[in-house]
Amino acid sequence: MNARLVAAAMAAALPLPLLAQTQQIRPPIALYWLSIETAGGMGMDIPAGMGGFMPPGMQGGKRMRLELGSSQQASGEARAEHAIPPGLALGQKLPLLSPRLERKPVREHEEEPEFQQPKGRMLIYWGCGESVRAGQPVTIDFAKLSSQEAARAFRSHAISRARGPSPGRNRSYGIWPNQEDSRPVPAAASLRGDHLVAGNYSPEIRFSVDERYDFMDAVAFEPVRKTAGGAFAVKWKAVPTATGYFATAMGQGEDRNDMVTWSSSEVQEMGQMLMDYIAPAEVERLIREKVVLPPQTTECSVPAGIFKNEGAVFNFIAYGNELNLVHPPRPKDPKQTWEQEWAVKLRLKSTAMTMLAERESGARRSRPSAQQRGADPGAAPAPQADTPPAQADKPQAPNPADAVQEGVKALRGILRF
């Protein structure tokens, strides 16, 4: 074949960008990440004074993590700050402080902890619906766990994630909250408005945030109920700016050494790697692969018979939008080098937890009868001390404090914290 024809055919087969001169790109001097979460906590109102007894993941509220990383060395002691809009209600500026690195003392003869083979099993389920699907559960016996079985059991879909600022990757690094300022974000806080980040190791970063990238709405569950078939029906109010949803649940099996996990995915998926920020493009892919629930979804049933004991924890995430900015903009001329000064990433999520139990979430569990407490079966059940005898057997009004305490005890038993 004529050499010119071959060259022409190859050129026609190549994408146009590859035919043009590849543009040189110099990565940004500074990266600024804003990780913005709306945490729904346990999906119920927390009584006054109870928040201190709950682990951080069970407490609700708005949260921010601000991270500035730079390839430049600070001129003198590293310092940077973020001038914030009035709507955040945290003053005029937030300090971005470099973490204090504390070196652990070196022990000459540090003994290696003795390895102990874990006991018990893990039972893995997935999929929304009334009944457990064929082929489930995947059961892993920890005493017989091999690398092949582990790969089969702990199957998880690969997620493309950008690498954010960190002390190990950047020459200079600052973060908020920090050792000097760890104030909670006010409930009515808003990100909308103009932002300015400045310091002695970073170019000046100016950007604006509109309502599309403000704090997401909190996840609001309806009371969890058990269906006639024994499944747990979980419903939630749609989060307006959500790009998709995902849920996991964890509890105990019939044996106290058995750990049971479930995810809302239509295909086998452990799901722990998905309970974090995920870019919208990745969420769209996971929806197509039937791993993530579409944003129109407002309910999912955990199949009957999975959790044998009360106290299973239902963990939920609504993925949000993501704002990505680079300065200066990309030159239109491909021959001109794109020398980036800074890049900003603002990512969003809304999370919540609730309990899967025989009763409706948030309702008070009735006290055990005398027979359940191990007393004489023939003895009459004793009324509660603070309840008149005529009302002793009547159901009591829901008590949020009791529900929270029960949830904390159950979670401690499951996760051993």
Through-space distance between the first and last CA atoms of the chain, rounded to whole angstroms? 73
Name beta bridge partners: 349. Answer: 37, 319
Are 59 and 51 in contact, with CB atoms under 8 Å apart? yes
Using CA atoms, how far residue 110 sits from 104, 107, 116, in Å, is 13, 6, 18
| pLDDT at residue 120, as a whole number | 81
| pLDDT at residue 310, as a whole number | 64
Q: What is the mean pLDDT of residues 123-129?
A: 95
| pLDDT at residue 119, as a whole number | 74
Residue 321 lies in a domain: yes
- Of residues 398, 339, 410, 399, the one with CA closest to residue 24: 339
- SS3 (DSSP) at 23: coil
Q: What is the mean pLDDT of residues 407-411?
A: 41
Q: Which domain holds residue 219?
A: 24-47+60-100+117-361+399-415
- Specify the higher pLDDT residue, 399 or 306: 306
Tell me the pLDDT tens digit for each residue of 26-42: 999 999 999 999 998 77
Residue 17 lies in a domain: no
The Cα–Cα gap between 105 and 297 comes to 52
Residue 301 lies in a domain: yes
Residue 372 lies in a domain: no
Percent of the chain with pLDDT over 70: 69
The Cα–Cα gap between 247 and 195 comes to 34
Residue 8 lies in a domain: no
Task: State CA 15 to chain mean position distance.
Answer: 39
How would residue 263 be classed by pLDDT, with cut points 50, 70 and 90?
very high
| pLDDT at residue 114, as a whole number | 60
Please list the helix, strand and coil fractions of the chain in percent, rounded to the nearest 5, in that order: 15, 30, 55
How would residue 282 be classed by pLDDT, with cut points 50, 70 and 90?
very high
Residue 105 lies in a domain: no
For the purposes of burial, counting CB atoms within 10 Å of the CB of 156, is it exposed (0-12), middle (13-18) or buried (19 or more)? middle
- Relative to beta strand 244-252, strand 93-96 is unpaired
Residue 54 lies in a domain: no
pLDDT surpasses 90 at 393: no
- Structural domains in the chain (count): 1
Residue 12 lies in a domain: no
Tell me the pLDDT tens digit for each residue of 144-195: 766 666 655 566 677 888 899 999 999 999 999 999 999 999 999 999 999 9
Are 351 and 316 in contact, with CB atoms under 8 Å apart? yes
How would residue 271 be classed by pLDDT, with cut points 50, 70 and 90?
confident
Q: Per mean pLDDT, which range of 38-42, 76-80, 181-185, 290-294 is the poorest? A: 38-42
The Cα–Cα gap between 272 and 292 comes to 13
- DSSP assignment letter at 17: H
Using CA atoms, how far residue 31 sits from 165, 206, 278, 341, 360, in Å, is 6, 12, 18, 9, 46
pLDDT surpasses 50 at 12: no
Question: Which residue shows structure tokens 């005890």?
Answer: 409
Edge-to-edge strands of the sheet including 232-235?
225-226, 232-235, 299-302
Mean pLDDT of the chain: 79
**How far is it between the farthest Cα atoms of the chain?**
104
Helical residues (DSSP H) of 234-279, grouped into ranges: none
- What six digits make up the tokens of 65? 């993590």
